[in-house]
């Protein structure tokens, strides 16, 4: 009987189907052998890499001077590096550009902001303007935006005030100019 299903035809067919299903799946050994993805480094331009590294190691004591591939670097405790390329001229201050900056997380922003205020080498930069035209040094010290907008207009501030909305305070993002932008 040429069309009959027997154990002689079923077993090889089931084995072939199993092989096809598992051929497209990574093995458990391969899955466990791969390390988790990690961020390794960031390149920044500066006119003086050694001065930049010295500046950042003073501001972030958990970091250290290092090198990678012959390039001067700042190394963090989790092995992420900021590599400093030596260039002839500093970054333009106006218009501002995101290309010449980076963000660095500190555990206690308020404590660090107080420390940075005492250091003449740290040039704190205001992030937002208050409704009176003043400035703040921490992002959470101004009116919170809504709907994906980072800030509020004067009329929106008036509406927020009438609704009892206040600046959040607490964790925040301060901004300052380091040696890569001078």
In a domain, 136, yes or no: yes
Domain that holds residue 160: 107-182
In a domain, 33, yes or no: no
What is residue 6's predicted lDDT score, i.e. its pLDDT? 42
What is residue 92's predicted lDDT score, i.e. its pLDDT? 76
If one counts the domains in the chain, the total is 1
In a domain, 5, yes or no: no
In a domain, 134, yes or no: yes
What is residue 57's predicted lDDT score, i.e. its pLDDT? 94
DSSP structural state of residue 92: P
In a domain, 160, yes or no: yes
In a domain, 24, yes or no: no
In a domain, 135, yes or no: yes
In a domain, 144, yes or no: yes
- Per-residue pLDDT 10s for the chain (182 aa) are 444 444 444 444 444 444 444 445 555 555 678 877 777 888 888 899 999 999 999 988 999 999 999 999 999 998 889 999 999 988 777 766 666 667 776 778 888 889 989 999 888 888 766 667 778 888 778 777 777 666 677 788 788 888 888 887 777 777 777 765 55
């Amino acid at each position: 009987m040429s069309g009959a299903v027997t154990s002689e035809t079923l077993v090889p067919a089931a084995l072939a189907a199993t092989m096809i299903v598992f051929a497209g799946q990574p093995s458990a050994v391969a899955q466990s052998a791969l390390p988790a993805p990690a961020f390794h480094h960031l390149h920044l331009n500066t006119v003086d890499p050694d001065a930049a590294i010295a500046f950042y190691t003073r501001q972030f004591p958990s970091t250290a001077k290092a090198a990678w591939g012959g390039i001067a670097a700042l190394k963090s405790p989790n092995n992420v590096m900021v590599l400093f390329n030596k260039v002839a001229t500093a970054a333009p201050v106006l218009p501002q550009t995101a290309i010449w900056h980076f963000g660095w997380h500190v555990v206690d922003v308020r404590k660090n902001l107080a420390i940075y205020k005492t250091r003449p080498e740290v040039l704190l930069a205001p992030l937002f303007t208050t409704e009176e035209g003043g400035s703040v040094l921490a992002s959470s010290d101004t009116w919170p935006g809504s709907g994906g907008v980072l800030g509020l207009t004067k009329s929106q501030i008036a509406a927020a005030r009438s609704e009892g909305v206040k600046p959040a305070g607490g964790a925040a993002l301060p901004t300052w100019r380091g040696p890569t932008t001078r």
